[in-house]
Amino acid sequence: MPATRLKRHRIVRRGKEAYHPPMPALCRDCLTQFEDGNRCPSCNSPRVRSHPELFDLTIAHMDCDAFYASVEKRDNPELRDKPVIIGGGRRGVVSTACYIARIRGVKSAMPMFKALKLCPDAVIVRGRMSTYVEVSKQVRALMEELTPAIEPLSLDEAFMDLSGTAKLHGAPPAVMLARLTRRMKDEIGITGSIGLSHNKFLAKVASDLDKPRGFSVIGKAETDAFLRDKPVRMIWGIGPAGQASLDKAGIRTFSDLLRWDRRDLHARFGSMGDRLYHLARGEDRRRVSAHSPMKSISNETTFHDDTNDPDILDGHIWRMAEKVSDRAKAKGLAGRVVTLKLKRANHSLLTRRTSLRDATQMADRIYRTARDLFDQTPDSGPYRLLGVGISDLTKDTEADLSGDLLDPEAAKRTDAERAADEIRKKFGADAIIKGRALR
Amino acid sequence: MKISMERGALLKAVAQAQSVVERRNTIPILANVLIEAEGDTVSFRATDLDIEVVDKTNAQVERAGATTVGAVTLHEIVRKLPDGALVQLSDDGASGRLTVEAGRSNFSLATLPKEDFPVMANSEYESNFAAPAPVLRRLFDKSKFAISTEETRYYLNGVYMHVADSDGGQVLRCVATDGHRLARIDADLPEGAAGMPGVIVPRKTVGELRKLLEDDEVEIAVSLSETKIRFATPEITLTSKVIDGTFPDYTRVIPAGNTRKLEVDASEFAQAVDRVATVSSERSRAVKLALDEDRLILSVNAPDSGAAEEELAVAYGDERLEIGFNAKYLLEIASQVDRENAVFMFNSAGDPTLMREGNDQSAIYVVMPMRV
Judge whether B2-116 and B127-252 match in fold.
yes
Query: Do the Cβ atoms of B132 and B138 come closer than 8 Å?
Result: no
A-chain residues within 8 Å CB-CB of B366? 405
Q: Which pLDDT value is given to residue A11?
A: 43
Query: Do the Cβ atoms of B190 and B133 come closer than 8 Å?
Result: no
Tell me the sheet residues that pair with B111.
B69
Comparison of pLDDT for A18 and A219, the residue scoring more = A219
| Closest to A79 (Cα-Cα) out of A122, A127, A131 | A122
The CATH number corresponding to B254-367 among 3.80.10.10, 3.40.50.1000, 3.30.530.20, 3.10.150.10 equals: 3.10.150.10
- Give the start-end residues of each E strand in A281-321: 296-307
The string of pLDDT tens digits covering residues A368-386 is: 999 999 998 888 879 988 9
The sign of the CA dihedral A414, A418, A419, A423 is: positive
Confidence of residue A10 (pLDDT cuts 50, 70, 90): very low
State the Cα torsion A360-A364-A368-A370 to the nearest 10°: 60
Distances in Å between the Cα of B92 and the Cα atoms of A366, B89, B117 are 60, 10, 19
Distance, in Å, from the CA atom of A316 to the CA atom of B241, rounded to the nearest integer, reads: 37
The CATH number corresponding to B2-116 among 3.10.150.10, 3.40.50.300, 1.10.1740.10, 3.30.70.260 equals: 3.10.150.10
| Closest to A434 (Cα-Cα) out of A267, A319, A317 | A319
Amino acid at A226: F
Indicate whether A88 pLDDT > 70.
no
Within 130-159 of B, beta carbons closer than 8 Å to A belong to 149-153, 156
Amino acid at A5: R
Burial A77-102 (b: 16+ CB within 10 A, else e): eebeeebbbbbbeeeebbbbbbbbbb
Comparison of pLDDT for A422 and A6, the residue scoring more = A422
**Interface touch A402/B370, C-beta < 8 Å:** yes
Distance, in Å, from the CA atom of A95 to the CA atom of A92, rounded to the nearest integer, reads: 9
* B284: nearest CB among A354, A401, A407: A401
pTM, to two decimals = 0.66
The string of pLDDT tens digits covering residues B317-369 is: 999 999 999 999 999 999 889 888 999 999 999 899 999 998 899 999 999 99
**Interface touch A354/B152, C-beta < 8 Å:** yes
Q: Which pLDDT value is given to residue B232?
A: 95
DSSP A187-235: II---EEEEEESSHHHHHHHHTTT-SS-EEE--TTTHHHHHTTSBGGGS
Share of chain A above pLDDT 70, in %: 93
Indicate whether A293 pLDDT > 80.
no
Backbone angles phi, psi at B155, to 5 degrees: -70, -5
Domain boundaries, chain B: 2-116, 127-252, 254-367
Intervals of chain B under pLDDT 50: none
**Could you give the residue ranges of the DSSP H alpha helices within A80-222?**
99-103, 112-118, 129-144, 166-169, 173-183, 200-207
Distances in Å between the Cα of B153 and the Cα atoms of A280, B149, B178 are 45, 8, 9
* A398: nearest CB among B181, B282, B350: B282
Class of domain B127-252: alpha beta
Predicted ipTM beyond 0.85: no
**Interface touch B150/A405, C-beta < 8 Å:** no
Radius of gyration of chain A (CA): 25
Indicate whether A15 pLDDT > 70.
no
**Could you give the residue ranges of the DSSP H alpha helices within chain B?**
7-20, 71-80, 133-141, 203-210, 266-277, 327-334
